[in-house]
Structure 1
Amino acid sequence: MPPRILRSSLSAPLPSTAPSSRSAFILPCKKLVVQYSETQGSNRGMRDFIGQGLPVDIARRYPGVEVVVERREAKHPILRGVYNNGRTKEICVRNLPPLSILSKAQLLLDSSGQKIVSIKRPGVVSTTESVRGVWSAFHDEVRQAA
């Protein structure tokens, strides 16, 4: 009897559900800056956030993102995301508990860094040129003084 060929043996192996370390996806956020003050009362949640080691957890979870913790005295705490397209986004996290700060950091990490565009009223785009044409200072007639 000839050997039986099973269809499942001909199919390619299924990819694993775990993300591989050789993934081609690059996060738009390349740097997350955490700024806080040691003395200000509005920084209590940020100091707890840092004390619980949550920035270290973020750095482990997103190895392609640089996580920087900076002290800046007499200011409110800030999370700043620096993106590959050159833009930055800042979120003030004064008087927030550590879990809310973590959700704001996640918001910055998931963001694309693009400018926010209103979808209610998109800009007017015309398919025809203006009847008058394009104005230029070189087309303006020079008036001679009498």
Structure 2
Amino acid sequence: MSNKHLFLKPGFVRAPLQNGVGRYVQQLQRIVLKFCKTHGGSRGMRDYIEQDLVDFAKQNPGVVVYLKPRRHRSPVVVAEYLNGDRVWMSMHNKSQSEVTKWIEVLRTQQGDVSGTRLRKFQYTDHPSIQGPWSPFTFKNPELNTAKLPDPKFGANNRLPMSATEQLRIMFEKQRLNEKDLKTGE
């Protein structure tokens, strides 16, 4: 087992501000597009800026968009979120459609969750003193030592007769009646 988790920041994975309960709060706060005006690796980023950036800014008025031209550098997108996370993504030699897709991914996520060591797997604002529910919470403990299949624990003895079984019984009765009629003649 590795100790890689010791170097990750601890935290919880949960929707901040109970997102989606009252209203949706977009988590992306700021996005910085860094690119070179002449470098060939920035072509997809420049095409995105020329064709799609104005539409993105109109559709997302809560997101601040910064353009930062840099000489002879690879294109980079830096996204900053409400929880303080910063996600840095290289866009070197990506096409305009790929840049559009990655910016949409950054827009819809809530920060860098993958770099977080989880303290708990569940989180709630109103914790229960009984613990988390599981499918085995209210099961009979005799089930642990029973030899299965056991009619005592089976659900089939409580279910009504299926339609197939009813048809089979009707067919058997009809066949017996036909035999009785043939032998009675």
Query: Common fold, TM-score beyond 0.5?
Result: yes
Q: Which runs of 5+ in 1 are unaligned?
A: 1-22, 125-146
Q: Which residue of 2 aligns with 1:27?
A: 26
| C-alpha distance in structure 2 between counterparts of 1:114 and 1:100, whole Å | 20
The total of aligned residue pairs comes to: 99
Does the CA-based 8 Å contact 2:28-2:110 persist in structure 1?
yes
Q: Which residue of 2 aligns with 1:46?
A: 45
- Could you say what secondary structure the match of 1:86 adopts? coil
Shift in Å, 1:50: 1.3
Instruction: Give the letter for the 1:94 counterpart.
Output: H
| C-alpha distance in structure 2 between counterparts of 1:117 and 1:100, whole Å | 23
| CA RMSD between the two structures | 2.3
Shift in Å, 1:107: 0.6
| C-alpha distance in structure 1 between counterparts of 2:114 and 2:36, whole Å | 30
- Could you say what secondary structure the match of 1:48 adopts? helix
| C-alpha distance in structure 2 between counterparts of 1:79 and 1:123, whole Å | 29
Superposition pairs for residues 59-98 of structure 1, below 5 Å?
Answer: 59-98=57-96
- Could you say what secondary structure the match of 1:90 adopts? strand
The CA deviation string for residues 24-53 of structure 1, in whole angstroms up to 9 with x for no partner, is: 32211101111100121101111111121x
Does the CA-based 8 Å contact 1:37-1:72 persist in structure 2?
yes
Instruction: Give the letter for the 2:75 counterpart.
Output: P
Q: Work out which of the two has the higher radius of gyration on C-alpha atoms and give 1 or 2.
A: 2
For the structure 1 residues 87 and 57, does the alpha-carbon distance in structure 2 shift closer, same or farther, using more than 3 Å as the test? same
The CA deviation string for residues 36-76 of structure 1, in whole angstroms up to 9 with x for no partner, is: 00121101111111121x11111111111111111111111
| C-alpha distance in structure 2 between counterparts of 1:103 and 1:90, whole Å | 15
Q: TM-score, normalised by structure 2?
A: 0.49
Q: Which runs of 5+ in 2 are unaligned?
A: 1-21, 121-185
The structure richer in helix per residue is: 2
Instruction: Give the letter for the 2:24 counterpart.
Output: F
List, as ranges, runs of 4+ consecutive aligned residues in structure 1 with deviation greater than 2 Å. none
State the identity as a percent. Answer: 25
Instruction: Give the letter for the 2:23 counterpart.
Output: A
| C-alpha distance in structure 2 between counterparts of 1:60 and 1:117, whole Å | 31
| C-alpha distance in structure 1 between counterparts of 2:94 and 2:112, whole Å | 26
